[in-house]
Structure 1
Amino acid sequence: MTTYRFEASLYLWESTQAAWVFTDLPFDVADEIEDAQTGPRRGFGAVRVEVAVGATTWRTSIFPSKERRTFILPVKRAVLDAEGLAPGASATFALTTVG
């Protein structure tokens, strides 16, 4: 397992059903994760990860985005609330791929 540390900005993505907050992985981190993947992937090309921001850690998946040309990381409302974050804010993430 490799841990990647990076700073990234949060952004809001809205659909007709809900609003989600995401951040984009830096291209070099996304390339390393893509190159390290072997075997079949989860649905939608997802990769399981554990993420830490501030004092909060959670497990989720990152998803490839053709539009943004990188993996996107969803950030839960509970994480935003716990860390005082909102769309437009920048945060430091520690992301570890999970088998």
Structure 2
Amino acid sequence: MNSKFSGKIFHWRGPAPYLFVAVPPAQSEQIKAVSGWVTYGWGVVPVHVRIGKTEWKTSLFPKDGKYLVPIRMSAQKAENLKEGDVVEIALEIRL
């Protein structure tokens, strides 16, 4: 499953501070529909992410009915990203 969307980067002060982008509700519902086949526990979903020219593998985290895309530090540096930026994201669920 592939998806493209834009979203605003935010800082979440959870157990490990990180920058995230929330997957929009419609795409989150689609991901949730297939999550049972791909999750490896706790509802996380393995994905391949691309922002600009930077690509990486990570996992989406479920939060309040949506999924969160963690933005790695290497991607933040490569794409000059910071909290508040709006980014275009392409994701592919890894099987």
TM-score (norm 2): 0.91
Distance 1:57 1:95 in 2: 9
Of residues 50, 55, 73, the one that matches 2:69 is 73
Distance 1:98-1:18 versus aligned 2 partners, 3 A rule: closer
| Letter matched to residue 12 of structure 1 | H
Q: CA deviation at 1:92?
A: 0.2
* Match status 1:61 vs 2:54: no
Larger Rg: 1
Aligned to 1:43: 41
- For residues 49 and 41 of structure 1, the distance between their equivalents in structure 2, rounded to whole angstroms, comes to 10
Structure 1 residue 41: Cα displacement: 2.7
User: Residues 60 and 70 of structure 2 are in contact (CA less than 8 Å); yes or no, is this contact kept in structure 1?
Assistant: yes
| Number of positions where the alignment pairs a residue of Structure 1 with one of Structure 2 | 95
Aligned alpha-carbon RMSD (Å)? 1.5
**Alignment partner of 1:79: what SS?**
helix
After superposition, residues 1-99 of structure 1 pair within 5 angstroms as 2-15=1-14, 18-39=16-37, 41-66=39-64, 69-99=65-95
**What code does the residue aligned with 1:37 have?**
S
Structure 2 residue ranges without an equivalent (≥5): none
Distance in structure 1 (CA, Å) of the matches to 2:38 and 2:2:
21
* TM-score, structure 1 as length reference: 0.88
Question: Retained in 1: the 8 A contact 2:35–2:43?
Answer: no
Gaps of 5+ in 1: none
Give me the identity figure in percent: 26
Residues 49-93 of structure 1, C-alpha deviations (whole Å, 9 max, x = no match): 000000000000001112xx2001110011011001101000000
